[in-house]
Amino acid sequence: MAELMPVPEVAAGAAEVVISQWLVKPGDRVTAGAPVAVIETEKAIVEVEAENDATLLRILADAGSQVAVGAPMALLGSAAEADGDIVALLAALGVSAGPANGPDAAASDAPAQPGTPAPTTTAPLGAEGAAPRLFISPLARKMLKEAGLSADGITGTGPGGRIRRHDVEAAISAARDQTPAQPAEPAPAEPETVTAGTPAPSQGPWTEIPHSRLRRVIATRLTQSKRDIPHFYLHRTIRLDALIALRTQLNQASPVKLSVNDLLIRAIAVAHTTVPEANVIWTDEALRRFDTVDVSVAIASERGLVTPVLRGVENSSLSAVSTRVKTFVEQANTGRLQQKDLEGGSITISNLGMYGIDEFSAIINPPQSAILAVGAARPTVQVVDGQPAVVTTANLVLSVDHRAIDGALAAQWMAALAEALETPIRLVV
């Protein structure tokens, strides 16, 4: 019996998604649990699986469409129904269909059934004899529309030739350079009225960059974090000479080149193992203490800031940690992070040392209870064994949720972290 396949709620609070790719075509047989489409949420690319064995009768939202969660994205049924009246089947399910245009034609955007949100199609529907499908990100498509430009002639630099934001920005800049400036007709001069103490409004040019869905989500979550989570901060300066020496030795023998950040992640796991009371998050009902150490890593990807989670770091080797972080960076830049990669963990590490930042305070990533901000490693002079000496230090700032972790407990955790970093043999045993 024919049934509609709705857009699933793959992320809590998500109101809409973008259909990134269809993995099957009308007439194909799909099996329960097999992926049939790829959808794009605010932070990740997620595969949508079929719930039952069926035949894909019609695609109702083409690749590139922005669709509300719960709206129908496809019509499924039996093989016998594939040769029947698809429009009648859709009408019986409360969805009015537009004119059929080959097997890939989609239903009309307007649903006949109240309360069922309709998919918003932003790309032309496929049909026999149609031009090759254009791969373009939703943000790039919106930027082109607002600039009044066409995607024709733009070469995408993304995977598979996908047109991305940077490609559109370059095209807009090129179009602006090629357009001769039109002299404006002088307006009649009017006397200006300037109020004392009030600065004149700026008349300089500006460019408005539309918010991406990811940027909106980041803004919402961080605003919520600062509003709802009582932050407090612990600062500590760590000597890194022993850690850097260990890294040099390991990289001489290991096929996987380790970064200082990899060792910091492993040190967080040691500190959480030493002080397990800090491996918690706050919930309305109780403190939730975790049995494994799952650490989020802040990655400034081409798509925006994401925080994928490394699982079971306490049982992971340094090479395994390093390999997984590199994989996350690649997946973040190409938009292939899964939603499950972004969920969980009790602490995040955010390292801005590579940008020369000495110290900063980071905002906790809810529902986690802490985030460790790492500054640049720099040579400084300290007293060692009663004598001044040049040592390498870095400033660490731990932002803590005071509901879940008290000051004394956080201080114990920072002491455990410092010991792990300044006696780094613990990171490999």
Using one digit for the tens of pLDDT, what is the confidence trace for 64-75?
Answer: 888 888 889 999
pLDDT at 363 over 60: yes
**How does DSSP classify residue 354?**
G
Q: What is the mean pLDDT of residues 286-306?
A: 91
Q: Report how many helices (DSSP H) and strands (DSSP E) the chain contains, helices first.
A: 8, 19
Angle made by CA atoms 325, 271, 221, in degrees to the nearest 5: 55
pLDDT grade, residue 119 (50/70/90)?
very low
pLDDT grade, residue 204 (50/70/90)?
confident
Per-residue model confidence (pLDDT) at position 111: 35
What value does the mean pLDDT of the chain take?
82
CA distance 388 to 115: 73
Closest by CA to 399, choosing from 384, 412, 410, is 410
Per-residue model confidence (pLDDT) at position 107: 34
pLDDT grade, residue 177 (50/70/90)?
low
Which H/E stretch holds residue 239?
Answer: strand 231-239
pLDDT grade, residue 195 (50/70/90)?
very low
Per-residue model confidence (pLDDT) at position 261: 96
> Which of residues 398 and 199 earns the better pLDDT score?
398
19-33, 238-252, 344-358: lowest mean pLDDT where?
19-33
For the chain, helix, strand, coil in percent to 5 are 30, 25, 45
Most confident segment among 34-43, 201-210, 305-314: 305-314
Based on the fold, state whether residues 2 and 150 are members of the same structural domain.
no
Per-residue model confidence (pLDDT) at position 239: 96
Per-residue model confidence (pLDDT) at position 144: 78
Per-residue model confidence (pLDDT) at position 334: 80
Based on the fold, state whether residues 280 and 246 are members of the same structural domain.
yes
CATH number (domain holding residue 303): 3.30.559.10
In a domain, 280, yes or no: yes
Based on the fold, state whether residues 100 and 147 are members of the same structural domain.
no
CATH number (domain holding residue 160): 4.10.320.10
In a domain, 146, yes or no: yes
pLDDT grade, residue 84 (50/70/90)?
confident
Per-residue model confidence (pLDDT) at position 118: 37
Per-residue model confidence (pLDDT) at position 333: 85
In a domain, 362, yes or no: yes
pLDDT at 225 over 70: yes
Residue 105 sits in which domain range? 1-132
Based on the fold, state whether residues 255 and 399 are members of the same structural domain.
yes
Based on the fold, state whether residues 256 and 405 are members of the same structural domain.
yes
In a domain, 226, yes or no: no
The set of catalytic residues is 402
Based on the fold, state whether residues 154 and 126 are members of the same structural domain.
no
In a domain, 227, yes or no: no
**One-letter amino acid of 137:** S
Based on the fold, state whether residues 166 and 251 are members of the same structural domain.
no
Of 124, 148, 174, the position where a domain reaches its end is 174
Summarised one tens digit per residue, pLDDT across range 229-286 is 999 999 999 999 999 999 999 999 989 999 999 999 999 999 999 999 999 999 999 9
CATH number (domain holding residue 94): 2.40.50.100
Based on the fold, state whether residues 128 and 142 are members of the same structural domain.
no
Number of domains in the chain: 3
Based on the fold, state whether residues 265 and 376 are members of the same structural domain.
yes
Look up residue 332 and give its two tokens: 């973040």
Q: What's the predicted TM-score (pTM) here? A: 0.64
Closest by CA to 119, choosing from 129, 127, 128, 111, is 111
Based on the fold, state whether residues 352 and 239 are members of the same structural domain.
yes
pLDDT grade, residue 123 (50/70/90)?
very low
Q: What is the mean pLDDT of residues 121-140?
A: 50
Based on the fold, state whether residues 125 and 159 are members of the same structural domain.
no
Based on the fold, state whether residues 339 and 359 are members of the same structural domain.
yes
- C-beta of residue 318 within 8 angstroms of C-beta of residue 258: yes
- C-beta of residue 142 within 8 angstroms of C-beta of residue 215: no
Radius of gyration over alpha carbons of the chain, in Å? 27
In a domain, 405, yes or no: yes
Strand pairing report for 347-351 and 295-297: parallel
In a domain, 396, yes or no: yes
- C-beta of residue 347 within 8 angstroms of C-beta of residue 270: no
- C-beta of residue 295 within 8 angstroms of C-beta of residue 347: yes
In a domain, 294, yes or no: yes
